[in-house]
């Protein structure tokens, strides 16, 4: 596992350099989810693949930017799912972006996830790690080309931020009402459109709610289970918060397709309980 974490750290340093120095334009390709790939999406994917390929304990890789699973070492123990550059459409406006990694064993279900890591490329580069085996969520910062431990992250029982994702005109009436009620209760809007910085902000400011619901146009939401939703669910749970699909725990969800998506809510306990109550009462 330590070797995988080292490879992720090397990838993060290289991706940071690529973001700073390389072309921010698009390629002519569309990925599995239907997004037009940026040159930086492809480049970040290659950097991570190159670094993870050096690790003999990895059995296979699966990336948001690759249609198929890439087999590495048949005797390897770990399966690594990753989103090389999350929020990449924000690159051209110079907002923060990130990379997300889920390190799985045996399969790609929520219950198979052992370790989650994400990296935020903002004014500073920060990396957050959570493991199924520990109750601490560690935050590290890139200082002089090394990741140094800064602190453990812990959510409060109730927060102040509300990050409501997806297209409002496609929300259900009860979802809209729930989001409105949070604002009436004093919550502040914080939504950049990058899952990594938006969830990082809620974690570091003590709590709140990030939602990406199922909608009329996208009943299964937009965010991908293996590369985005499961890794953050482990981080939020270990930080003392929770993550549900509206009613059920995200990490109890199974994967039938590696690029599959699901509705998701991440937050501190108070807000997640509120979502659960609303959805249990209203969802069919």
Contact stretch for Mn ion (CB under 5 A) within 13-21, 24-32, 56-64, 267-275 = 56-64
Where does the chain have alpha helices with state H?
2-21, 39-52, 173-184, 195-204, 230-238, 269-282
Q: Binding Mn ion by CB under 5 A: which of 51, 60, 83, 237?
A: 83
Q: Binding ligand AHG by CB under 6 A: which of 9, 175, 200, 222?
A: 222
Q: Annotation-wise, does 228 bind a ligand? A: yes
CA gap 253, 241 in Å, rounded? 18
If one asks whether residue 83 binds ligand AHG (CB under 6 A), the answer comes out as yes
CA gap 37, 45 in Å, rounded? 11
CA gap 1, 249 in Å, rounded? 26
Instruction: Fill in the DSSP letter of residue 224.
Output: B
Nearer to ligand AHG, 25 or 193 (CB): 193
Nearer to Mn ion, 64 or 237 (CB): 64
Q: Which of residues 228-257 bind Mn ion (CB under 5 A)?
A: none
Residue nearest to Mn ion (CB): 86
Residue nearest to ligand AHG (CB): 195
CA-based nearest residue to 80, from 195, 185, 230, 201: 230
If one asks whether residue 62 binds ligand AHG (CB under 6 A), the answer comes out as no
Q: Which of residues 245-284 bind ligand AHG (CB under 6 A)?
A: none
If one asks whether residue 45 binds Mn ion (CB under 5 A), the answer comes out as no
Contact stretch for ligand AHG (CB under 6 A) within 21-29, 172-180, 193-201, 276-284 = 193-201
Contact stretch for ligand AHG (CB under 6 A) within 3-11, 87-95, 109-117, 275-283 = 87-95
CA-based nearest residue to 85, from 135, 42, 142: 42
Per-position b or e across 55-80, b if 16+ CB within 10 A of its CB:
bebbbbbbbbbbeeeeebeeeeebbb
Residue 133 sits at φ, ψ, to 5 deg, of -80, -5
Binding-residue total with ligand AHG (CB under 6 A)? 13
What angle, 0 to 180 degrees and rounded to 10, lies between the N-to-C axes of helices 173-184 and 269-282? Answer: 150
Instruction: Fill in the DSSP letter of residue 248.
Output: S
CA-based nearest residue to 108, from 251, 269, 242: 251
Contact stretch for Mn ion (CB under 5 A) within 79-87, 205-213, 229-237, 242-250 = 79-87
Least Å distance between CB 145 and ligand AHG? 26
CA gap 58, 129 in Å, rounded? 18
- SS3 assignment, position 94: coil
Binding residues for substrate, as ranges, are 86-89, 191, 222
**Interface with Mn ion by CB under 5 A: which residues?**
64, 83, 85-86
Binding residues, as ranges, are 64, 83, 85-89, 191, 222, 228
**Interface with ligand AHG by CB under 6 A: which residues?**
35, 64, 83, 86-89, 165-166, 193-195, 222
């Amino acid at each position: 596992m330590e070797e995988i974490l080292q490879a992720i750290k090397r990838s993060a340093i290289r991706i940071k350099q690529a973001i700073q120095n390389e072309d921010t334009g698009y390629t002519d390709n569309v990925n599995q989810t239907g997004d037009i790939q940026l040159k930086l999406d492809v480049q970040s994917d290659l950097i991570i693949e190159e670094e993870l390929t050096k690790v003999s304990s990895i059995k296979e890789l699966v990336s948001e930017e690759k249609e198929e699973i890439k087999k590495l070492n048949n005797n390897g123990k770990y399966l690594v799912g990753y989103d090389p550059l999350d929020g990449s459409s924000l690159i051209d406006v110079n907002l923060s972006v990130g990379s997300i990694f889920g390190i799985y064993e045996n399969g790609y279900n929520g219950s198979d996830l052992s370790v989650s890591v994400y990296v935020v490329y903002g004014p500073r580069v920060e990396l957050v790690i959570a493991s199924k085996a520990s109750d601490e969520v560690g935050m590290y910062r890139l200082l002089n080309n090394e990741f140094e431990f800064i602190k453990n992250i812990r959510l409060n029982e109730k927060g102040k931020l509300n990050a409501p994702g997806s297209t409002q005109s496609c929300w259900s009436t009860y979802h809209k009402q729930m989001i409105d009620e949070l604002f009436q209760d004093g919550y502040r809007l914080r939504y950049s459109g990058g899952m990594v910085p938006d969830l990082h902000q809620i974690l570091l400011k003590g709590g709140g709610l990030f939602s990406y619901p199922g909608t009329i146009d996208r009943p299964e939401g937009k965010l991908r289970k293996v590369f985005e939703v499961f890794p953050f669910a482990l981080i939020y749970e270990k930080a003392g918060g929770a993550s549900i699909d509206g009613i059920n725990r995200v990490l109890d969800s199974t994967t039938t397709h590696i690029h599959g998506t699901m509705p998701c809510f991440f937050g501190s306990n108070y807000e997640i309980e509120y979502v659960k109550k609303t959805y249990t009462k209203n969802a069919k």
